[in-house]
Chain A
Amino acid sequence: MTNINENINDQFPINFLQSQEQVGVFNGQSLLKSWKNSKLQNHMWFFPFSSACCSLAYQVDQNLIVDDGTNPLFKEDISEVNANILVFSGMITPKLVPYLRKVYQKMSYPKWVVAVGTCAISGAPFEGPFVMKGLELLFPVDIVIPGCPPSEEGIDLGLKLLSEKMKKGICSAIQVNSEVGLKQ
């Protein structure tokens, strides 16, 4: 079998955002806003929630498991009030639903949601009455990283795409009279 992908750098050219600019909320940003949004790349505070196997992939990527002897052992936990981004990896069961809703309400606007793993997107291997068929049914999701479990480079790419999205100011959760609404 021939090795098809010899050049891994050619894989996903990052031009998908051109198709999303028509759908985005902050269309036609003023100079001030675009400058403010470009600084959001340095303010990515993650709130990781992991319930099962995909936690391994996320932790290795974020160096929560030591890779080459740097200092991440001493990373502190963030509470949900200060966080920007909810990174969810794992499956959704009926007992977790009220807890997730509380976490999402406590986070302040603007906020982004990342779904890691196939179980969070569609609940695929466990098709039955106990697992919810995706995180999309609860609240709007921004970035999706499939795989069982996804590779470390895949999570890297997904977070890079998220930072580009934050720079352009596109967010799928909007505030309509202080209630959560999906974009039209």
Chain B
Amino acid sequence: MNSHNLLEVIADSLSPFGEYSVIQSSKGELVIKVTSLKIEECLMALKKNCGFIQLVDIIGIDEKLNPEVQKRFQLVYVLYNFEEQIRAAIEIEVGEAEIIPSCSHIWCNADWAEREIYDLLGIQITKKNKITKRIFFPNRFTGHPLRKDFESVDFECFEDSDSPFEKDTDLTLEQMSQRTVVTMGPQQSGDRGAFRLWMEMEDDLISRIEPELGFIHRGIEKLSENQNLNRSIHLSERLNYLSPSVGSLLWCRAIEEMIAIDIPERAKAIRMILLEMSRIIEHCRGIHSIQRELKLAAGELQFSQIIKTGERLLSRYSTTGHFSHLNMIGGMSRDLPHFWMGELMEWIRTVERHLFTGHESLKSSQFWYDQNSIKGIMASEALEWGVTGPILRSCGVNFDLRKAEPFYFYQDVDFEIPLGINGTSFDIYLVKVEEIKQSLNILAQVADNLPVGDFVSQDQRISFASKEKIKEGDLGAMARNQRLINIGPTLPQGKKYTSLESPNGELGLYLIGGNSAHPLRVKWRTPSFYHFQPFSNWAKGLSIDSARVVFESLNILTSEVDR
């Protein structure tokens, strides 16, 4: 099916449901506007007839300060078609007191996204005539933080919450009395963050499980709306704190594409190197955390040595401890130090050596194989729940954003994509080990042909003036620096969704610019949010220890879920 045929199919399926309009951008992305009377039928037709299988994200926008708009809110549904590799954004206008039907019977992963929209913005979305619950703030809290007229949070009115389970009417009284409710508190072992798990246990097996979120909600999206674009790089690194250069890479790349700036080739190659190094380090951390959970010492020294030497190499480039400030709008903030490429080549060799011994000793252990083969995920289930990244590839789906939407030099580099069979935790481990080897390939190819030249673009709209000019007494350069620091670069009008293949899955950013220095809406689509949702389905019937192994293999970080 070509995209031309796809437009005809969309026109056929949407025409009986009222007015609509379709616009296609130059890169092939679709924007569809629909009147809000029959949303459910439109979305169902789009899923069944036109092939938009996966719901990527739902975004809510408050347009109170825009004088041209009649209705206050706007909802955007972002969908993806795997055959044609086309993304579509469907926009709907919503008034202040209107109620919208939910679409969680079409796509399962719309549940938490709709709860978040109700919590932060106040748009009411109903499911079987019941108003949705909040997700980050407790139910007694009044106020919606992402609205433009929100004031402040009172720190004293929060109390501990009660059990979120409702009565199960299928069971008799006897069966209900045999169940007990257990919590695992906000403090978790390891570096996963803070959340609370409510579990209903029956004879040591889990029958119902539900997580409670909101313990690390810092409001990164709200803070980025009131700040300079340059200052928000500081915040975008603290989203995923295990690989901070990925978040800032996406922020800078999204802004550069909106302003239409071309960065020099050396900066592109260095950004690719940072991305692949973060991928290797984070995959090793994931394997290491499962080993620590199972208290298995085979091969553990090797994986931790890969992590330590990689971090030391990165900190030598950035001269900070952990959070590098290497990416800035227009390129890199400093050039590579002397002999860093030589050390990178040495590091590639040590990683190969450590990986070989660690993998051999782990693979031949019966305990590791048994503990990790408990729960398998099917490919159709993974696509329904919005799972992306190495977990989707371990189910057998051949999809990688580096091949589908390549950027920088990913078209010129040779690498392959490993696929698993069953979708168990053991398959995820094998896929991660193979991905580390492919990343080493990419690193070697980029390092052999590193381009020479500038490392930051000299465009007048975004670049700072050099120190020599100001020392000579050029007051115009001083004024330019002051303007860029206090006000910042201006975002043109427009809406854009950019995404990346981060080590966890698909990381996306939706930006709306209004020809001003502050963006109108910032929304981060994080992979951990969509991996945590189906965990309550996948952990049923298991004991606590096996559920913990399944949880650790999904690589969930609470700072990404809560933002």
Chain A residues close to B by CB (< 8 Å): 49-53, 55-57, 59, 65-67, 69, 73-74, 77, 90-91, 93-99, 125-132, 147-151
Contact = CB atoms under 8 A, between A and B. Distances in A.
28 contacts: A49-B187, A51-B193, A52-B238, A53-B238, A53-B322, A56-B241, A65-B288, A67-B304, A93-B214, A93-B216, A94-B155, A94-B158, A95-B138, A96-B186, A96-B215, A97-B155, A97-B156, A99-B186, A125-B234, A125-B238, A128-B219, A128-B223, A129-B219, A130-B218, A147-B321, A148-B323, A149-B322, A151-B321
Please classify the interface of chain B as helix (H, G, I), strand (E, B), loop, or mixed, using the class held by over half of its residues: loop
Please classify the interface of chain A as helix (H, G, I), strand (E, B), loop, or mixed, using the class held by over half of its residues: loop
Contacts of A55: 191
B523 to A, nearest CB: 17
A66 B185 CA distance: 25
B477 interface: no
Chain B, interface size category, equals 35 or more
Contacts of A130: 145, 153, 217-219, 222
B549 to A, nearest CB: 16
Contact of A52 (B155, B216, B220, B300): B216
A52 B152 contact: no
Contacts of A56: 191, 241, 322
Contact of A131 (B218, B288, B297): B218
Contact of A98 (B152, B158, B216): B158
Interface of B: 137-138, 145, 151-156, 158-160, 185-187, 189, 191, 193-194, 214-220, 222-223, 234-235, 238, 241, 288, 292, 295, 297, 300-301, 304, 321-323, 559
Nearest to A53: B241
B219 A52 contact: no
Given A96-B186, A99-B160, A91 B216 contact: yes
A73 B301 CA distance: 12
Contacts of B158: 94-95, 97-98
Nearest to A126: B218
A94 B217 CA distance: 9
Contacts of A66: 300-301, 304
Given A91-B218, A128-B223, A149-B321, A53 B559 contact: yes
B215 A129 contact: no
A59 B189 CA distance: 10
Nearest to B137: A95
A112 B105 CA distance: 52
